[in-house]
Amino acid sequence: MNFRNNIDKVLGFKSDKYLITSLYLKLSPRERENFKYRITLKNLIKEQRDSLNKRGFTKEALESIDSDLKKIADYIGNPAQVTGCRGLVIFSSAREGVWEVFKLPLVYRSRLVVDRSPLIRQLVTMNDEFGDIVVVTIDRKKARLFRIGLDGADEVLGYSYPEASTRNTKFQAQEGKSMQRVTRVGGGEIAHGYGEYGFQRMIENEMHQHFKHVSQRLFDYYKENKFDWLIIGGIEQVIADFSNHLHTYLKGKSLGTMAMEINLIKPDELVEKSLDLLEATERKNEKSLAKEFEQKLVLGLAVNGLEATLKALMMGQVRILLLLEGFSHSGFKCPQSGVLVLESKDILCPEGKTPIPVVDIVDDVIEEALAQKVEVEMILDEGAKKKIDGIGALLRFKL
């Protein structure tokens, strides 16, 4: 899948008669337990069906939407379609022939929206922020390089050390070769088979030459094709030995290691293991953010709770939006300016008009934050959750 081209197709959607359905579905390990994501989707579809008849759409538009919802439900109902990702985004407009599916490492919240234009901001933001992961899998003779992005996993390089790939790794004594290496210890002598000793030294040297070469090729690849994270895969000892050859700059990009057999790699499994490591890193970052949040709150460079966060967001102060998983709240949106408020008062809207009710204002908060290039962090760590009242933010500046 060409991610950028497919986004452009969705962005180009225009229709005077039909609407487009946008689905964002979380597929983290929690949502996959007992197929919880299917229940989530079922509820989202029910909510849409209940509201569609109230929106004044034509019969033809409603039939197109109904086809969208059925096709989406069938697609998600097939387990083979939801592998190798932690979130799924689908755009569908049956009568306009639109059907685009994107597999993502993260979806902030599950949403289903039917509108004149696609809900695409979160998808575009994810393309910019997720970055690329490179996985180098290595053994004593070979190496394979995979790049994981929003397009999935692709093998980009492979290498076998020429001498090591053909040589037997076990020493075979030759007839008539009886030379010995002698070591003097405590006044005595210990004899070693010289041929075996030399052979093993040669094998070790070739292995390290192999590691050195792979490390250089990896760094050359990085210079031409920048990536954000590096994972090393293999057996424990090989990973440790190869890490000693790794360029210092690449060590700083380490996301972790994974145990694997170089000849038995499956792309979907590689993606899943990489996302596990990425998620573990995110949990560590959450703890760090929670600590910073406590410190900045005292200094007036953080806000806690929905009302304070909304005010800071509308003032353009927010640097990082912190949101507890599952947090939701009703609210209102000004019809012209798009200002988000918690009460239905004309005075709260710059245009002086009555705010429009929204079922869950948190979805609009996320959209507004992304529009302002604000970093959005979903908080799952239990310790961090206790410090935030549903939603909060770290600020760029205080007023």
pLDDT reading at 172 higher than 80: no
Residue 143 CA, distance from chain mean position = 25
Whether 65 and 120 share a structural domain: yes
Task: Provide the token pair at 375.
Answer: 């970093």
Supply the DSSP symbol for 119: -
Query: What integer pLDDT is reported at residue 177 of this predicted model?
Result: 45
Does residue 108 or residue 317 have the better pLDDT? 317
Residue 242: CATH number of its domain: 3.30.420.60
Query: What integer pLDDT is reported at residue 176 of this predicted model?
Result: 44
Whether 17 and 140 share a structural domain: no
pLDDT reading at 92 higher than 90: yes
Is 142 among the domain residues? yes
pLDDT reading at 180 higher than 60: no
Domain-terminating residue out of 97, 129, 161? 129
Mean pLDDT to the nearest integer, 189-193: 49
Q: How much of the chain, in percent, has pLDDT values that exceed 90?
A: 41
Q: How many domains does the chain have?
A: 3
Is 77 among the domain residues? yes
The structure's pTM equals 0.70
Calculate the average pLDDT of the chain: 84
Query: What integer pLDDT is reported at residue 122 of this predicted model?
Result: 76
Res. 89 pLDDT band, cuts 50 70 90? very high
Residue 392, CA distances (Å) to 61, 225, 313, 364, 396 in order: 39, 36, 10, 15, 13
pLDDT reading at 13 higher than 80: yes
Whether 260 and 145 share a structural domain: yes
pLDDT reading at 207 higher than 90: no
Query: What integer pLDDT is reported at residue 198 of this predicted model?
Result: 60
Whether 111 and 211 share a structural domain: no
Structural domain for 97, as ranges: 3-129
Whether 169 and 90 share a structural domain: no
Nearest of 342, 358, 341 to residue 350 by alpha carbon: 341
Does residue 183 or residue 220 have the better pLDDT? 220
Neighbouring CB atoms inside 10 A of 199's CB total 18
Nearest of 106, 142, 163 to residue 377 by alpha carbon: 106
Contacts 24+ apart (CB under 8 A), 60-66: 60/17, 60/18, 60/95, 61/17, 61/18, 61/19, 63/95, 64/18, 64/19, 64/93, 64/94, 64/95, 64/96, 65/19, 65/21, 65/114
286-309 per-position pLDDT tens digit: 889 999 999 999 999 999 999 999
Q: Counting every residue, how long is the chain?
A: 399
Whether 293 and 360 share a structural domain: yes
Residue 164 CA, distance from chain mean position = 37
Mean pLDDT to the nearest integer, 367-380: 87
Res. 173 pLDDT band, cuts 50 70 90? very low
Is 198 among the domain residues? no
Cβ–Cβ < 8 Å for 391, 321 = yes
Mean pLDDT to the nearest integer, 173-188: 48
pLDDT reading at 324 higher than 60: yes
